[in-house]
Amino acid sequence: MSVLPLTRSLAHPSTDPPTLVARVREALGWSGSDFLIGLQGYPELMATLDVAHDVEGLVRVGDPTSPPLRLLRGLNALDPGLRLTRVTSVPSPWRWTRLGGGAGDAQAVALRQQAYSDVVAVMGRAGVGFSVMPDDTSTEDLLAAGLELGSAIVDVDELSGTDVLIVGFLEDLPPLHYGLLARGSAVPEEVGAAWLTIRPDREQAGTLMVALERFSDLGVDLDFLHSDPQGPGGGTHDFHVGFRAGADRLEDLQAALAGVGFGSRVLAAFA
């Protein structure tokens, strides 16, 4: 009896509107079920990926050369078969629009929690109040709140033809970087980027320098290094490192680390 292949679905935290998630999926070149699984947050996403082998995950990665420690810890805690396999970027999606036909002053702005986190640093000089709404707020509810307040910050694909943009604040925001968490993909042969978690079998003063010498011997320069204490007393550490390397160099590096008493796990490898 033949076994039908699983149809993959894409899960994501419901911190971004569906319009943005759809553009990121297209930018990643992801193919699979059209059904998107919106989960409450990153803990729920990671827990789902651990047990569902027909689901891949979409995550924000910050700066790919310096991802947040929270993400690295989350990846390291996943099933070893999972890792970040692709990374893409999309232009910042947020637009500030005056509602109500452009009449009156925008004394306050309605926006979702994630959008607030992305724009608050530049919106502080606008002198407006914020009405921060849950991330799963629908477009209709967000615009209704913005109509009462005078303005809203929405995804570019949530704009209507009658909206009047307020410019001078959000045009120069940096792009957003996203990664795809998946099982079983081969490490790219071409030179790309990799993230590793390394842990010494026995830790003592100078242990990390022994590992760093292996990177130097192979001509690998680090993009980042995070020391992550483990246990109540923090007596042992995981070390999360990122660098540029293709499949052959990554394999050589893991072998060299094993030779000096370091276990390693690939968290990410992408072109």
Closest CA to 141 of 173, 112, 177: 112
Give pLDDT, residue 101. 56
Based on the structure, what is the number of domains in the chain? 3
User: Do 179 and 82 fall within a single domain?
Assistant: yes
72 contacts 97 by C-beta, under 8 angstroms = no
Sequence-distant (≥ 6) Cβ neighbours of residue 159 within 8 angstroms? 95, 97, 165
- Residue 1 included in any domain: no
* 233 CB neighbour count, 10 Å cutoff: 7
User: Do 179 and 81 fall within a single domain?
Assistant: yes
**3-class SS string, 5-46:** CCCCEEEEECCCCHHHHHHHHHHHCCCCCCCEEEECCHHHHH
Give pLDDT, residue 187. 74
CATH of the domain at 66: 3.40.190.10
- Residue 46 included in any domain: yes
Sign of the torsion angle spanned by Cα atoms 257, 73, 50, 60: negative
User: Do 224 and 239 fall within a single domain?
Assistant: yes
Q: How far apart are CA 97 and CA 166, in angstroms?
A: 6
- Residue 188 included in any domain: no
Closest CA to 264 of 46, 87, 66, 80: 80
Task: Please spell the DSSP secondary structure of 114-136, one letter per residue.
Answer: HHHHHHHHHHGGG--EEEEE-TT
Q: How far apart are CA 78 and CA 205, in angstroms?
A: 29
- Residuewise pLDDT in 10s, the chain (271 residues): 444 456 889 999 999 999 999 999 999 999 888 888 999 888 899 999 989 989 999 999 999 999 999 999 999 999 888 999 999 999 999 999 998 654 556 779 999 999 999 999 999 888 889 999 999 999 999 999 998 888 999 999 999 877 889 999 999 999 999 999 999 766 767 768 999 999 998 877 778 899 999 999 999 999 999 988 876 665 678 899 999 888 888 989 999 999 999 999 999 999 8
What three-state secondary structure class fits 264? strand
CATH of the domain at 141: 3.40.190
User: Do 160 and 137 fall within a single domain?
Assistant: yes
Residue found by looking up tokens 């660098």 in the block: 243
Range of the domain at 64: 9-91+175-183
Task: Please spell the DSSP secondary structure of 192-246, one letter per residue.
Answer: -EEEEEEEESS--TTHHHHHHHHHHHTTPPEEEEEEEEESTT--EEEEEEEEE--
Q: How far apart are CA 34 and CA 9, in angstroms?
A: 7
User: Do 25 and 119 fall within a single domain?
Assistant: no
- Residue 2 included in any domain: no
User: Do 179 and 70 fall within a single domain?
Assistant: yes
